[in-house]
Amino acid sequence: MREVEHDGQHLDFQAIKMNGEEIKELRYADDTALISKIPDGLNHILQSVKNHSEEKDLYLNPSKTKIMATDKCTDVPKLLVNNEELESVETFVYLGAQIKKDGKITPQIRRRLAIAAGKLNKFQKLWKCQTLVTKLRTLKACIYYFR
């Protein structure tokens, strides 16, 4: 990805701004989100990532590669990887967070609450237990864990 950063043509495309900082891509391990205000910019970044990756025998999987246009985008670009058109999606999960095209986070909050409720339900046997010591130890472990 460093090669893509230094690809001179890559820098010509507009990035989005978040808190005054320009964002062109989000990276973590093998998860990457490429960001551009214009379809041509996104296509160029995607092709640059593809080309630089293939130089290192790493290949994009078109079935796992998705595109999402935000509500502000009037036309969804048709992007190809290895002559396969990439699927356009309304939402995707990036590092455990659900990203929606409208930018709303309510579904994300509901999703995380559901996950937390599921984890809490696994403690039902413990909460029904008569011994207070075990409950207190568990509670302290959870509180100290999240500090």
Angle at 47 between CA 70 and CA 44, to 5 degrees: 55
Among all chains, which residue has been given the structure tokens 């970044």?
45
Per-residue pLDDT of the chain (147 residues; tens, 9 = 90+): 455 555 545 444 556 666 677 766 666 556 777 877 787 888 888 899 899 889 988 888 998 888 888 777 777 778 899 899 999 888 888 777 778 888 787 877 888 888 888 888 888 888 787 788 888 887 788 776 555
Q: Is the pTM of this model over 0.75?
A: no
Asked if residue 32 lies in contact with residue 26, where contact means CB atoms within 8 angstroms, the answer is yes
Asked if residue 89 lies in contact with residue 66, where contact means CB atoms within 8 angstroms, the answer is yes
> Can you tell me the distance from the alpha carbon of 94 to that of 85, in angstroms, rounded to the nearest whole number?
21
